[in-house]
Amino acid sequence: MPVFRFATIQGQAIVWFLQRNCSVTPAQLGWFYASLCVVSLSIAAFFWLHGATLILPFAWLELGAVGLAFLAYARHAADGERISLQGRRLVVELESAGQLQRTEFDPDWVRVEPRAGDRSLIEVSGRGRTVRVGRFLRPELRPLLAQEIRSALRERQV
């Protein structure tokens, strides 16, 4: 059994799970945004009560813009790629903004190679279907991932 750098072995399956490196979860971001709203609106209300009437509308505008930016971040925080090799199937699942794209390949007919060069995404193709993976991996590590997937495919064919 080969040793994998990027994959884990789950029973009879080999699974590569690549995801965005996020230091803040969407739930933590929500709590931070709520506390930011409380502080900002408290300060704006204080100045509004002392006669600065334009402070409150600008505070709402600012919090709306920050909320939209946080929402865009939170939508993509759970993005990832899952590649699994189990038995006679290679399954590639890409999740982006909550939408899942799933493609299955026959391991005997699949090709795994860099799209254009060593630093490009990895192209998994077979029988007219193509999926690009590796966007959550540093470019210099993508050839290693492609080699690891190819090695696992060869190991399964023996």
pLDDT value for 29: 92
Question: 2-55 pLDDT, tens per residue?
Answer: 678 999 998 889 999 999 888 888 889 999 999 999 999 999 999 999 999 999
Place of tokens 């704006």: 44
Architecture of domain 7-20+79-157: Roll (2.30)
Share of residues in the chain with pLDDT > 70 (%): 95
CA angle 93, 107, 2 (to 5 degrees): 90
Question: 71-98 pLDDT, tens per residue?
Answer: 998 888 889 999 999 988 999 999 998 8
Question: 44-56 pLDDT, tens per residue?
Answer: 999 999 999 999 9
CATH 2.30.29.30 in the chain is located at 7-20+79-157
Closest CA to 133 of 74, 80, 77: 80
Q: Which residues contact 156 (CB under 8 A, 6 or more apart)?
A: 85, 107
Looking at every residue in the chain, the average pLDDT score rounds to 91
